[in-house]
Amino acid sequence: MSSKTFTNLFSEITLGVLQAYARDKDVVSALKSSLPIILDSISAQAVSLFLVSADQSSLKCELCLGPVDIRGVLVPVSAGLVGKAFTTRQGSLIKDAKQSKEHYRNVDEKSGFETHSILTVPILSGDNIFGCLQAINKLESQEIVPFDEVDLDAFERLALIIGLALENVSLANNMVKDALIMKDLSAAEEIQANLFATLDKIEQISGVVIPARNLSGDFFDYFEFKDKLYFCEGDVSGKGIPAALTVARCSALFRLFVKLDLDPIKIAQKINSEIFDVGARFGKSAGFVTFCVGTLDLKNGQCQIVNCGHGDLVLTDEQKKISTISSSLPPLGVVESDDLIWECLDINLTGKRIYIFTDGLLEARPKNGASEELGLEGVKSLIKYVSNMTPEASVNKLMGLISSNSLTTNDDATLLVLGL
């Protein structure tokens, strides 16, 4: 498997699929960006993604990468390794396809492609099965070698990521189609807008959410409690009403746990457990949340922050020196709290500013037609320009570029700035 960690692959594939689906409303199109990542991660000559038909009778190759294009090929659920993986819900490793009676040779005969070794795994999420992934011919230094059990385990984890992404797509799609929910959409928008508008004005902190559509999966919250400023920012997987419900839940839990006088690590642990346990109770994924939570002592400037997969934070000082702080934890809802090593960043923000933002800002593009996203370096350049401003002025200046259409983005964009 590639050098990328499971957390990085999870974030890259899942967020890519969800963002593409939110934009195009097409499942196959949304999955396209994941296939090159999978091919590279498993070091295969070819990778194919099969999705099951509506009547569950056959599996169709919807996407593939490799020397031969087999898109459109149909495999009965009773035939071949793909059919077996689907019906048994178990992955398989074939080190020599020529010796395997289970290999569905019709595809080879039609395509002219020579299969040596094969990995085939089901795409699962809880009780739901969406199809199968298949990898053919492992490559090492341009030589074909057999796959092994380590490769099978890595491939099963990649299929799990695809399954979680498709589960979120399915949930969001079904809910949006519900006519009763559609009637309540405007009310939900108003409630969410009020969530941000009713925050107290505090000199040391300011934030803005700019939704890409009706409802945002981004959120932030803050308030004073016992001489400290408690704050959080998050980005929920998925879009629309499912994401908005998770936003409301996370905000409510954040305020509850602050009032129970918990520190940032305990707050993150408990919200993580709540999200993870939903999936365990109902046997399916409850999605995930990239999340940053912390405290700022308004008397001495001491700040504690826990970053759960929320990307790099940007820190500036009075000399406009810029540094970044990376996350070492996965998003909330991915791994049980007891299985993680929790870390908290301690920093003094006297004379400094910290900028916390979501992917929508990183993915923004200048309106002048430039194809390149800002990325982290572009965002850092903009931050340097406003680093001597107050938190409120910084937020208004940077996010004003999006609200005025000087920058365009297809995702929700959120910025939270704090410091003394």
Tens of pLDDT, residue by residue over 277-326, are: 776 655 555 578 999 999 999 999 999 999 999 989 999 999 999 999 99
CB 192 within 8 A of CB 221: no
CA-closest candidate to residue 399, choices 206, 251, 135: 206
Chain segment 86-101, per-residue pLDDT in tens: 999 999 999 988 777 7
**What superfamily does domain 6-177 belong to in CATH?**
GAF domain (3.30.450.40)
pLDDT of 173 strictly over 90: no
Taking only Cα atoms into account, the Rg of the chain, rounded to an integer number of angstroms, comes to 23
Question: Which is more confidently placed, 108 or 299?
Answer: 299
Question: Which is more confidently placed, 168 or 234?
Answer: 234
Q: Which of 127-136, 197-206, 276-285, 287-296 has the lowest mean pLDDT?
A: 276-285
Tell me the average pLDDT across 63-90.
91
Q: Confidence class of residue 180 from pLDDT cuts 50, 70 and 90?
A: very low
Tell me the average pLDDT across 114-135.
91
Interhelix angle for 6-24 vs 149-177, to 10°?
Answer: 30
Residues of the chain with CATH 3.60.40.10: 184-419
Residues of the chain with CATH 3.30.450.40: 6-177
pLDDT score for 247: 83
pLDDT score for 13: 83
Q: Which residues pair with 365 in a beta bridge?
A: 408
Where does 49-184 have alpha helices with state H?
A: 80-88, 105-111, 149-177, 179-183
Strands 218-225 and 228-236, bridge-based pairing? antiparallel
Tell me the average pLDDT across 328-347.
93
- pTM equals 0.56
Report the mean per-residue pLDDT for the chain.
85
Domain formed by 184-419, architecture:
4-Layer Sandwich (3.60)
- Residue 92, H or E segment: strand 92-94
Unique residue bearing structure tokens 């000199």: 203
